[in-house]
Structure 1
Amino acid sequence: MGEMDNLSAMNSKHYISWPVLALMCFVTVIGFDDLIYNFKNQGMGVITSWILMLFLYVIPYSLMVGQLGSIFNHEGGGLSSWIRGTNGEFLGYFTAWTYWAASIPYVVDTANSIVVGIGWAVTGNSKFQDSISNSEFALWTLLTFAVFILVQSRFKRSLELLSTIGGIAMFGMTVLFVIMSLSSLAMGGHIATQPMNLGAIVPKFDLKYLTTVGLLIYAVNGCELIAPFVTKMKKPQTDFPKSMITLAAMTAFLTIFGSFSLGIFFDAHHLPNDLKMNGSYYAFQALGQQYHVGNLFMYLFAWTEVFYLVALLAVLLDAMTRMLISDTGERYMPHFLRKTNADGLPVNGYLLTCVLSGFILLLGIFLPDMNDIFNWLLNLNGIISPGVTCWIFYAFMRVRRNSIKYPSSYVFIKNDKLAWLVGFWAFAVTAIATIFGIAPQDVKEFSSVWWYELIINIVAITILIGLGAILPSITRREDQYGQAFSKAQWIVMISVVVVAIVLGVFLGGTSLTYRGWLIAIEALIALMIIWLISRRHPQKNKIR
């Protein structure tokens, strides 16, 4: 009887089928905006880049994620648990921190995109962007943060559902664009990019090309989000590869034909300067004109974009903060950041998110115009996000060094040495793309704006990662003295930050390069003072 019960339980267990897992992953990997961003960087040559990325990067990357998720399924299959399981607690904490830090530019970019999307959805054009200053743009973005930190605490579950629905709707709009663009050629439409031949889709492999690879990786990463579901498949060893091959096929269709479709409406040799910020709306506007329906498709896309991004931002602000304070334990994360209110909300974690987001916005506020701010933030994601992805391949290499210690229901490449080499290949490509991505894009090389963006790229990375290195010492202070900082020490640190901001805003001079160096020096001094203070006790008696 007991055996019959066990058999019934096994038969009634719910498994995820490989087509469903492929669709789940597809929604997290690629979107219409990703096509626009990389089309702007590489023109029609991005078609070749997409093909190379899919076969040499996306497929092995997703299959490696599958094995890691299978090995560490007892911890939910999160990235930090993979590093913790292969390299110990501290690197596990630091991975969680860098993963969170990489989310800061992403949520700022998402908030910016909401402001841009609302402008298009309401006015039907880009006049709203042209009518506001950089400081007003930053203010609207900060207000967006404040509103959605309040909203997500009350409607979190509803917004998770809405973001999923919105994501699927966004992919539906992308597929619609591709199909209707190709159909327009049969109706007598013309291709704007000329000549359209084999030479047009071959990129120029030079230094500039290397600086754009990071944004390609940023576009296709995200497979690690589906890692926990590997163990919920009935036959992971055979079904998971099917899911990833299906994912690659769908991604190939969307990226290759999507980029070709963009070449129908945009001359790849003479692209608008604001294509990254407004290209999605221009594309659907052009599609509507082709089918003689005016701005119908553009409005449909604009409201879909706003609907999706609004829900996504609210969920991101909550999920990234909760993940940071819950996945790092008490050993390295300060108590004041883990502190929650009566509703269980990590209020100080939210505050840190807002402060660092405001800091990122402040770095970009001195750029010439709103389009430069948008492009810089996007390209910053193309640096930090691939950098964090390196942890995945590092964990995989560690696992395959000692595969007996890490048994798995799914194994990517049976031969350990070959598997390690594939992991090293992916790690090296991602690391190189991260390093070259630090060089600014979308601006004239070695101009004052180029130098300023290079400096603030380095400053943003240093501050975001540097704080993660300082926090464990602050935690030790709490354990030893009962509080992070005394009242006097808080006053000193806040004063240093305020003075740095005032100097940067009012005394920076007119030269962007000079202002950039001033911001860099101020940021490093502020970080150094926080580090030095964290090494001195606030008072002898314990408070908690």
Structure 2
Amino acid sequence: MGETPNNSKKMMWTTLATMAFSIVWSFGNVVNGFIYFDGTKVIFSWIVIFLLFFIPYALMVGELGSVFKDSEGGVASWINATIGPKWAYYAGWTFWAVHVVYISSKGTGGLRGMAWGIFGNTNWYDSLPTAWTQLATLVVFLFFCWVASRGIPVIKTLSTIAGTSMFIMSILFIIMMFAAPMINPHANFNTVNWNWQNFVPDFNIKYFTSLSILVFAVGGAEKISPYVNKLKNPSKNFPKAMLGLAGMVMISAILGTIALALMFDPKTVNGNLNEYISNGPYIAFQKLGEYYGVGGLFLYIYAWCNVIGQFSALVISIDAPLRMLLGGKEAKDFIPKKLLKVNKHGAYINGIWMIVILSGGIIALQAVMPDAQAVMAQLVKLNSIVMPMRYLWVFIAYLALRKQHEKFHKGFDNYQMTKHQWLAYIAGLWGLAVTIACCLMGMYSSDPFTLCLNIATPVVLLLLGLIMPTIRRHQEEKNN
């Protein structure tokens, strides 16, 4: 009788699966997969990436979350417990550093969304000289850095509303697209060719250098680790939740791809790659509105939801990763003291200045690109190379945890991915190898400037992370 109230507060596995789905997945992932992998040919790759990467990754996250149930710092806390504080700093630094590119892409994405929301197209915006669009992006970026420095909390509420509405629209898009031929049978739909060769990818350079797009799409499951121990019977229900999540994501990816195939011919997409990378979701919602006879209604709703989402994500990405890095006890001994300075609003002001220099530098560099579409396409690819680097620490933490199995054996009571040590090591090493390989292959580009940016960005961020503890050590020696 005494356990009933406690159990009633526990989460059902279906609740966790749905929550994780809204965190991990977005309509943009479906569109990017369709664009980069020749339409329906992406379905094979989605299935492989879910089975061989995403499910093991999510189950490993569950085990780490279960063992370190009281750790609030996420990956950095896991590394601190298994390897030590200096490595925890490197993990925290990586998590922060990968957001530098992400931050520079949010201003670009927000302005593009505004162009769609105001004009119903981006003809005028894309016709502007790149230097002008990048200057506008820089102004928007600096404004939101100022907002972040003021510690304004309303942004988080806006982000939640925008994120929820975008998630609902992504699901509605798939349902409404499949219903469209019945509602408007005379509209101009493509015929999906169900021949086997239309679902098997071409294993060429383009294929392997684009795999980072899929790895980037399915990452982020570490955000659900705090909820493992809030489940009823975690050892039984967490794998169920993760398999449920994988099932929902797989169904969404496959049905979303087929829905897009009814709208777009992959040959047309490949002939205008930058156009579709930059504007794919907007064009999709625009066409959907035409099928339903409501003009640009769906497009305008999607565009303004996206504007709010992009700009709120920009502020949160300036603020939250910085707080995790500079506020975490794991990193404080390795970071120069000036970066730890907090202003009267509780914001790490010098840390924000560091973001201004790094993210602002990427925005300024891209003024040499031919147009705003090329900038957007470059940022999508650069994000897919840099962002998955934070997942490496999940696999490192998991391998370190299993190596010290005896030390943490009590933590395995709630949930364990596998009892076989050899299988755990293979899973961890496999995840590590796949992530490194996809990030490295993703760096390739036939354009010299893009290739240099793809290589230089992670290298500069890595070197900066290595220099920080040295600066701090010199400061300590000087004081002593």
TM range (shorter): over 0.9
TM-score by length of 2: 0.93
Code of the residue aligned with 2:298 in structure 1: it is F
2:155 and 2:9 map into 1 onto residues whose CA distance is 26
Partner of 1:435 in structure 2? 440
Any idea what SS the aligned residue of 2:380 has? helix
- Asked whether the 8 Å contact 2:149–2:352 carries over to 1, the reply is no
1:57 and 1:18 map into 2 onto residues whose CA distance is 21
Partner of 1:278 in structure 2? 279
Partner of 1:29 in structure 2? 24
Code of the residue aligned with 1:303 in structure 2: it is W
1:77 and 1:154 map into 2 onto residues whose CA distance is 24
* Range that drifts further, 14-23 or 107-116: 14-23
1:193 and 1:267 map into 2 onto residues whose CA distance is 9
Partner deviation per Cα, 1:115-156 (whole Å, 9 max, x = no partner): 100111011111232242222222222222222233345574
Partner of 2:90 in structure 1? 94
Shift of 1:68: 0.7
2:429 aligns with one of 424, 430, 435: 424
Shift of 1:266: 0.6
2:357 and 2:25 map into 1 onto residues whose CA distance is 29
Partner deviation per Cα, 1:467-495 (whole Å, 9 max, x = no partner): 0000111111221225xxxxxxxxxxxxx
2:12 and 2:192 map into 1 onto residues whose CA distance is 44
Change (3 A) 1:63 1:156: farther
Partner of 1:246 in structure 2? 244
Change (3 A) 1:384 1:73: same
2:175 and 2:47 map into 1 onto residues whose CA distance is 20
The within-5 A match list for 1:292-311 is 292-311=293-312
Change (3 A) 1:195 1:329: closer
Code of the residue aligned with 1:362 in structure 2: it is A
List 4+ stretches of structure 1 deviating above 6 A. none
Change (3 A) 1:89 1:173: same
Partner of 1:169 in structure 2? 165
TM-score by length of 1: 0.83
Please tell me whether Structure 1 or Structure 2 has the larger radius of gyration of its CA atoms. 1
1:56 and 1:156 map into 2 onto residues whose CA distance is 41
- Asked whether the 8 Å contact 1:152–1:159 carries over to 2, the reply is no
2:194 and 2:188 map into 1 onto residues whose CA distance is 11
Any idea what SS the aligned residue of 2:468 has? helix
Code of the residue aligned with 1:459 in structure 2: it is A
Shift of 1:400: 1.9
Shift of 1:203: 0.7
Partner of 1:220 in structure 2? 218
Any idea what SS the aligned residue of 2:70 has? helix
1:412 aligns with one of 417, 424, 428: 417
Code of the residue aligned with 1:159 in structure 2: it is I
- Asked whether the 8 Å contact 2:50–2:246 carries over to 1, the reply is yes
Any idea what SS the aligned residue of 1:292 has? coil
- Percent identity of equivalent pairs: 35
- Asked whether the 8 Å contact 1:156–1:315 carries over to 2, the reply is no
- Asked whether the 8 Å contact 1:35–1:255 carries over to 2, the reply is yes
1:76 aligns with 2:80: no
2:27 and 2:98 map into 1 onto residues whose CA distance is 21
- Asked whether the 8 Å contact 1:193–1:266 carries over to 2, the reply is no
Partner of 1:206 in structure 2? 204
Code of the residue aligned with 1:412 in structure 2: it is M
The within-5 A match list for 1:112-511 is 112-152=108-148, 156-186=152-182, 187-188=184-185, 189=187, 191-192=189-190, 195-271=193-269, 272-273=272-273, 274-327=275-328, 328-407=330-409, 408=412, 409-440=414-445, 445=446, 450-482=447-479
- Asked whether the 8 Å contact 2:107–2:314 carries over to 1, the reply is yes
Unaligned stretches of 5+ residues in structure 2: none
- Asked whether the 8 Å contact 1:110–1:313 carries over to 2, the reply is yes
Code of the residue aligned with 1:29 in structure 2: it is V
Partner deviation per Cα, 1:395-426 (whole Å, 9 max, x = no partner): 21222223222232210012111121122222
1:55 aligns with one of 51, 60, 63: 51
